[in-house]
C-alpha cells in the first residue's frame, strides 16, 4: 500500500521537476483496509530515496455514511460494528461513504528555477 | 523556495482498479463467472474449493482455479485432485493477490482459455485484511468463516465481510464440539453486511454443498441472461 502511494505521488510530480514532497494527505474510509499505524510505521522506509523522503503523512478518516431508504436521508454511522440506520434501524445496504482509499492532495516544495 | 498544494484526488489503488476493470470486461465477454475466495489461513478454503470444483465438474460445468500463497504449490496440487485445471500463484511475501498477478497467470495458462470455462475460482492468500482492498475483477467475492474461528470474526474484520457478496460458514460437521453459536454468527455477519447470502457447509460430509452449487449455477445463468 505504501509503495502504491509512493508510485502515485512520484508520477504526479512530472510537471514539477526536482520538487520535493513535504506532505501527503490521504482520505481513508473507516471500512477500508488501511491501518494508519502500520502505514506511519513503514512510511520513512518506504519513501527513502524517493522525492517523498522526509515527508509527513496525514490521514483523514471518513465515517460510514449510508443512505436510509426508510428515512429518505443520508445517515452517518457512529462505528463499524452495526451497519444499520442509527435513527430507524433499517439495514445499511446502500453505502455512500466509508470505503475511500484516496490520495487527496500533496504539498510540495518546487525546485529553484535558475534565473 | 515555493511550496504549493497539488490536488490529486485519486485512488491509492487506481492502477489495480483499472487492471481489474479490464479483467472484469474480459471475463464478461468470455461468459465465465469469476469468484474470489477470501478468509483467514486455516478456514478450509482449499478443502471447500476442492469439493466445489469436483462436484461442479461432475455436474458438467467447466471449472478452473487460480490459487494464491506466499510460497509452495501444495494447494495447487491438492486442488488438482479435483481433476480441474489449477494454477498456483506464489506472491513471495505479498499478503494478497492483485489484478496484475491474475492477468499474468491467466495469460499463457496451458490448456485453459476463458471462453472454454463456466467458472473460474480464485483462492486468495489467507488474510482477512488486505485482500478486501484489491479488486481482481471478480463477479462475486466470497468470505469464508469456519466454526473453529469464533462467531465475532465478522465484527473484528468488518472490512472484509462488508465487501463480500456471499459468506460461507465451513466445517459445520464439528460445530457442536466447538461450541459454535450459529445464531450469533449469523447475527454478526448480518450486522456487518445486511442481507448477505450465507451458506453453511462441510467439505468433509458434503452438508450444505448442494445449496451452494445450485446457487452458483443460478448466479451464472442469471448473469448470462
Would you call B107 helix, strand, or coil by DSSP? coil
pLDDT of residue B67: 97
Contact B6 A33 (CB under 8 A): no
B50: part of which helix (H) or strand (E)? helix B45-58
Measure CB to CB from residue A80 to each of B3, B158, B194 and give the nearest one. B158
Q: How far is A47 from chain B (nearest CA, A)?
A: 15
Is pLDDT of A11 > 90? yes
Measure CB to CB from residue A83 to each of B3, B16, B194 and give the nearest one. B194
Contacts of A34 in chain B (CB under 8 A): 12, 133
Q: Are B43 and B169 in contact (CB under 8 A)?
A: no
Q: Assign residue A23 a region: left if phi > 0, alpha if psi is -120 to 50, beta otherwise?
A: beta
Contact B10 A103 (CB under 8 A): yes
pLDDT of residue B106: 97
Confidence of residue A56 (pLDDT cuts 50, 70, 90): very high
Q: Which residue of B has its CA nearest to A81?
A: B155
**How much is the mean pLDDT over chain A?**
94
Q: How far is B98 from chain A (nearest CA, A)?
A: 11
Cα B180 to the center of its chain, rounded Å: 23
Q: How far is A77 from chain B (nearest CA, A)?
A: 12
Per-residue pLDDT tens over the stretch A74-92? 999 999 999 999 999 999 9
* Chain pair A-B, CB pairs under 8 angstroms: 101
Per-residue pLDDT tens over the stretch A35-47? 899 999 999 999 9
Contact A8 B8 (CB under 8 A): yes
Q: Are A28 and A61 in contact (CB under 8 A)?
A: yes
- Angstrom distance (rounded) from CA A85 to CA A76: 8
Report residue A62: phi and psi, to 5°: -110, 125
Q: How far is A65 from chain B (nearest CA, A)?
A: 14
Cα B109 to the center of its chain, rounded Å: 20
Q: How many percent of chain A have pLDDT more than 70?
A: 98
End-to-end Cα separation, chain B, in angstroms: 61
* Structure letter (DSSP) for residue B127: -
pLDDT of residue B1: 73
Confidence of residue A115 (pLDDT cuts 50, 70, 90): low
Please indicate whether residue A112 or residue A99 has the higher confidence score (pLDDT).
A99
Contacts of A35 in chain B (CB under 8 A): 129
Q: How far is B176 from chain A (nearest CA, A)?
A: 26
Task: Catalogue the E-assigned strands of B91-183.
Answer: 119-123, 140-146, 166-170
* Structure letter (DSSP) for residue B135: -
Q: What is the pLDDT along chain B (225 residues), one digit of tens a residue?
A: 789 999 999 999 999 999 999 999 999 999 999 999 999 999 999 999 999 999 999 999 999 999 999 999 999 999 999 999 999 999 998 999 999 999 999 998 999 999 999 999 999 999 988 899 999 999 999 999 999 998 999 999 999 999 999 999 999 999 999 999 999 999 999 999 999 999 999 999 999 999 999 999 999 999 886
Q: Which residue of A has its CA nearest to B94?
A: A1
The C-alpha cell 518506504 sits at A46
Angle A84-B148-B86 from CA coordinates, rounded to 5°: 95
pLDDT of residue A29: 96
Is pLDDT of A60 > 70? yes
Per-residue pLDDT tens over the stretch A89-104? 999 999 999 999 999 9
Contact B4 A108 (CB under 8 A): yes
Kindly report the pTM of this predicted structure: 0.93
pLDDT of residue A111: 86
Confidence of residue A62 (pLDDT cuts 50, 70, 90): very high
Contacts of B9 in chain A (CB under 8 A): 102-105
Contact B12 A112 (CB under 8 A): no
Is pLDDT of A114 > 80? no
Q: Which residue of A has its CA nearest to B152?
A: A81
Amino acid at each position: 500500500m505504501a509503495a502504491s502511494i509512493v508510485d502515485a505521488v512520484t508520477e504526479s510530480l512530472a510537471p514539477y521537476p526536482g520538487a520535493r514532497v513535504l506532505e501527503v494527505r490521504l482520505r481513508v474510509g473507516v471500512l477500508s483496509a488501511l491501518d494508519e499505524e502500520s502505514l506511519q510505521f513503514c512510511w520513512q522506509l518506504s519513501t527513502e530515496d524517493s522525492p517523498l523522503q522526509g515527508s509527513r503523512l496525514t490521514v483523514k478518516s471518513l465515517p460510514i455514511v449510508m443512505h436510509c431508504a426508510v428515512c429518505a436521508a443520508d445517515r452517518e454511522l457512529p462505528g463499524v460494528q452495526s451497519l444499520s440506520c442509527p435513527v430507524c434501524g433499517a439495514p445499511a445496504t446502500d453505502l455512500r461513504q466509508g470505503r475511500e482509499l484516496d490520495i487527496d492532495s500533496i504539498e510540495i516544495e518546487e525546485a529553484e528555477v535558475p534565473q | 523556495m515555493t511550496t504549493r498544494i497539488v490536488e490529486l484526488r485519486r485512488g491509492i489503488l487506481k492502477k489495480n482498479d483499472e487492471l481489474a476493470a479490464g479483467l472484469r470486461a474480459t471475463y464478461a465477454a468470455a461468459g465465465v463467472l469469476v469468484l474470489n475466495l477470501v478468509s483467514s489461513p486455516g478456514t478450509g478454503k482449499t478443502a471447500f474449493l476442492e469439493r466445489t470444483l469436483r462436484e461442479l465438474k461432475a455436474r458438467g460445468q467447466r471449472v478452473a482455479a487460480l490459487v494464491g500463497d506466499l510460497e509452495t504449490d501444495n494447494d495447487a496440487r491438492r486442488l488438482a485432485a479435483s481433476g480441474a485445471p489449477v494454477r498456483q500463484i506464489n506472491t513471495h511475501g505479498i499478503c494478497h493477490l492483485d489484478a496484475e498477478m491474475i492477468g499474468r497467470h491467466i495469460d499463457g495458462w496451458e490448456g485453459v482459455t476463458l471462453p472454454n470455462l463456466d467458472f473460474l475460482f480464485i483462492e486468495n492468500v489467507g488474510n482477512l485484511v488486505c485482500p478486501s482492498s484489491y479488486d481482481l475483477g471478480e463477479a462475486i467475492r466470497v468470505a469464508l468463516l469456519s466454526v473453529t474461528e469464533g462467531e465475532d470474526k465478522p465484527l473484528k474484520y468488518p472490512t472484509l465481510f462488508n465487501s463480500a457478496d456471499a459468506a460461507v460458514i465451513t466445517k459445520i460437521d464439528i460445530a457442536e464440539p466447538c461450541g459454535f453459536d450459529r445464531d450469533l454468527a449469523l447475527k454478526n455477519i448480518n450486522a456487518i453486511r445486511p442481507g448477505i447470502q450465507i451458506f453453511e457447509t462441510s467439505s468433509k460430509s458434503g452438508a450444505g454443498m448442494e445449496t451452494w452449487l445450485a446457487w452458483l449455477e443460478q448466479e451464472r445463468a442469471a448473469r448470462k441472461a
